Amino acid sequence: MKKLTCWLITGYFILQLAVPGYFVYHHYDTLYTGESYKFDVAPYDPYDPFRGRYVSLSTTLSLYSSDGEYALLGKDSAGYAVINEWVSQKPTDKPYVKNLILNRYYMNEKMAPEAERIYRDLDLDKEKIYLLVKVKNGDYVIEGLYINDIPIEQYITGA
């Protein structure tokens, strides 16, 4: 009985490590080998009791399909993401996303309110704020939030 429990505990521990391990592998793979897209965003500053402060984002591009369709991604001349087409079949040779949700960017608790304030003061006719996202095989990972091509953390600290 004790031997069985020992095997079960070992299996449980491996599973516990495998799940976050898989998340890490999967995200890194997309981050390093995926294609970059910029998404126009508007941030504000809420709080998650476990994962800390983040800026909540809303994208100007609608990326959700209630029919579960795939969005074929393209880029405009400035590198911003555009949707070329919605298709019902999973694409095999073109970059795509399905119901892409870009709603969180985690930040230091002092920086998150500052990010919201900076966004309010931005002159969006002259300045730009965007999210850089890596996309690969329908998966995506947020690389960073940028203001005028500077990572927001650097923009805030002036570093």
Binding positions for other proteins, rule: CB under 8 A: 5-6, 8-9, 12-13, 15-17, 19-20, 23-24, 27, 31, 48-54, 101-109, 111, 141-142, 153
Task: Identify which of residues 99 and 148 has a Cβ nearer to other proteins in the complex.
Answer: 99
Q: Decide whether 96 or 140 has the Cβ nearer to other proteins.
A: 140
Is residue 135 within 8 Å of residue 97, measured between CB atoms? yes
Closest to other proteins by CB, 75 vs 104, is 104
Distances 63 to 35, 40, 55, 69, 109 between C-alpha atoms, Å: 17, 12, 19, 10, 28
Nearest Cα residue to 56 out of 131, 126, 123, 5: 131
Identify which of residues 6 and 85 has a Cβ nearer to other proteins in the complex: 6
**Distance of closest approach, residue 31 Cβ to other proteins, in angstroms:** 8
Closest by Cα among 33, 59, 26, 49 to 145 = 59
- The tokens describing 125, both together, are 């006719």
| Smallest gap from residue 98 Cβ to other proteins (A) | 13
Sign, Cα dihedral of 61, 93, 76, 131: positive
Q: How far is the CB of 76 from other proteins (least distance, A)?
A: 23
Q: Cβ 77 to other proteins, closest distance in Å?
A: 27
